[in-house]
């Protein structure tokens, strides 16, 4: 296929080039070999399965199916441990793959290996699929000749992170459902039930309490403009969906939520645990500590990134790692004690892993506690809102009954 690439050269000049390649991933790799930085990719002549394959490669295409990196690592590890060499393992994975995008990526990797390119350099040419930590781990493993061990450590690292993420998602499902159901019930009462009560009250000719008047007026407004109300509700839902679907808006929203007083400390601790585990992975792969610190910078919050830069500078100047972390606020008391032991025994990577595991377990317990607390609180709030609407609807009836008695 012919791909049209918008690239930026060494002189910062942007221009368009056309490249022939089997997939979009390979086109980006060819452009990178010529010293270009790819800004955008288009394949005007590709259709059908070819388009699906290029999109599935997961590079620069909106709606592209992401490459299953964890599954790829697990299967590659199993094949290497079974005795296959790297080329045979990649070919086996390519033959069994039926997803067009993943297959196109494996074809590009296999072709690069056949041309004599190293595995780590091949992965580095696909930065949208393989993160820097993965590439660095593979590169270090190639020098030590122990690729299966490096893959096993990465798989364990990713599985632990995925377990925490799944726990967060599962803990948020029930509160989200409560909010949705409570909102729909409230809208039904306001838009359907309240207007019918207002007709009865108007025909009675009696004085209505002020709060009930506000409620009945709001309900009549909703009932009198149903399409406008539905449009406003759809716009609100669409805005939330658009915000969550846009990477930059979603990142800003997440950062704003994580700045809340209750969540700020836990979010910082969770990021630190992830950073500790990544550092452990890189140190076990043989990567120097200063370089490993630079590679884990993106895992931290913006304020922590500045602290990590200062920590890295202190380590380069000869300060012990545990002391540098403590001075710049990146070491919890538990991590501080464990890292000192790791420095004294030469097992810094193991102690980083233990620190991350300790904080992950602590974070999981906090998630369980928070979910158990949030669910009854949400039910209470929803009950108060719905109950308040019902009480305001029936308040004129209560007053009428009182006057009759």
pLDDT in tens, the chain (405 residues): 667 777 766 555 667 777 776 666 667 767 776 767 666 666 444 433 333 333 333 333 333 457 888 888 888 888 888 888 888 888 898 888 888 888 888 888 888 888 888 888 888 888 878 888 888 888 888 877 778 888 888 888 888 878 877 887 887 888 888 888 888 888 888 888 888 777 767 666 667 777 777 877 778 787 777 788 788 878 887 777 776 666 667 667 767 776 777 777 888 888 888 888 888 888 888 888 888 888 888 778 778 888 888 988 988 888 888 888 888 888 888 888 898 898 888 888 889 888 888 888 888 888 888 888 888 888 888 888 888 888 887 777 776 666 555
Spell out the domain ranges in the chain: 2-42, 69-158
The confidence score (pLDDT) of residue 49 equals: 37
d(CA 254, CA 269): 16
Could you tell me which CATH number the domain at 69-158 has? 1.20.81.30
Provide the terminal-to-terminal Cα distance of the chain, rounded to the nearest Å. Answer: 87
Q: Minimal CA–CA distance to 136: which of 270, 337, 296?
A: 296
Q: At what angle do helices 210-224 and 226-245 cross, to 10 degrees?
A: 80
d(CA 57, CA 25): 6
Judged on CB neighbours under 10 Å (0-12, 13-18, 19+), 240 is exposed
The confidence score (pLDDT) of residue 405 equals: 53
Q: Could you give the dihedral angle defined by the CA atoms of residues 270, 273, 275 and 279, in that order, rounded to the nearest 10 degrees?
A: -170
The confidence score (pLDDT) of residue 404 equals: 57
Query: Phi first, then psi: what are they for 97, rounded to 5°?
Result: -80, 130
């Amino acid at each position: 296929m012919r791909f049209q690439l918008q690239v930026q050269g060494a002189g910062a000049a942007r221009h368009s080039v056309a490249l022939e390649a089997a997939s979009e991933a390979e086109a980006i790799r060819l452009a990178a070999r010529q010293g270009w930085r790819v800004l955008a990719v288009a394949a005007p002549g590709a259709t059908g399965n070819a388009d699906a394959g290029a999109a599935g490669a997961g590079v620069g295409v909106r709606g592209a199916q992401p490459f299953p990196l964890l599954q790829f690592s697990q299967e590659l590890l199993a094949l290497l441990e079974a005795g296959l060499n790297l080329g045979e393992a990649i070919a086996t994975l390519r033959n069994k793959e039926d997803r067009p995008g993943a297959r196109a990526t494996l074809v590009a990797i296999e072709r690069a290996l056949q041309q004599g390119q190293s595995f780590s350099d091949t992965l580095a040419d696909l930065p949208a699929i393989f993160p820097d930590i993965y590439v660095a781990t593979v590169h270090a493993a190639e020098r030590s000749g122990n690729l299966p061990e490096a893959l096993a450590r990465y798989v364990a690292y990713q599985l632990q992170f995925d377990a925490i993420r799944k726990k967060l998602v599962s803990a948020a499902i029930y509160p989200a459902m409560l909010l949705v159901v409570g909102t729909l019930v409230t809208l039904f009462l306001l838009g359907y039930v309240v207007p019918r009560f207002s007709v009865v009250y108007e025909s009675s000719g009696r004085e209505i309490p002020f709060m009930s008047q506000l409620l009945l007026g709001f309900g009549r407004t909703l009932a009198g403009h149903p399409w406008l109300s539905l449009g406003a509700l759809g716009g609100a839902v669409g805005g939330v969906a658009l915000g969550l679907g846009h990477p930059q808006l979603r990142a800003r929203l997440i950062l704003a939520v994580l700045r809340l007083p209750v969540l700020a400390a836990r979010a910082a601790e969770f990021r630190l645990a992830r950073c500790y585990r990544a550092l452990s992975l890189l140190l076990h792969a043989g990567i120097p500590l200063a370089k490993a610190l630079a590679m884990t910078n993106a895992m931290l919050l913006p304020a922590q990134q500045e602290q990590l830069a200062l920590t890295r500078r202190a380590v380069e100047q000869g300060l012990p790692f545990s002391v540098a972390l403590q001075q710049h606020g990146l070491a919890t008391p538990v991590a501080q004690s464990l890292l000192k032991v790791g420095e004294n025994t030469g097992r810094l990577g193991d102690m980083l892993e233990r620190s991350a595991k300790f904080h992950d377990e602590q974070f999981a317990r906090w998630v369980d506690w928070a979910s158990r607390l949030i669910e009854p609180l949400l039910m209470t709030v929803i009950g108060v809102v719905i109950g308040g609407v019902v009480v305001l609807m029936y308040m004129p009836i209560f007053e009428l009954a009182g006057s009759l008695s």
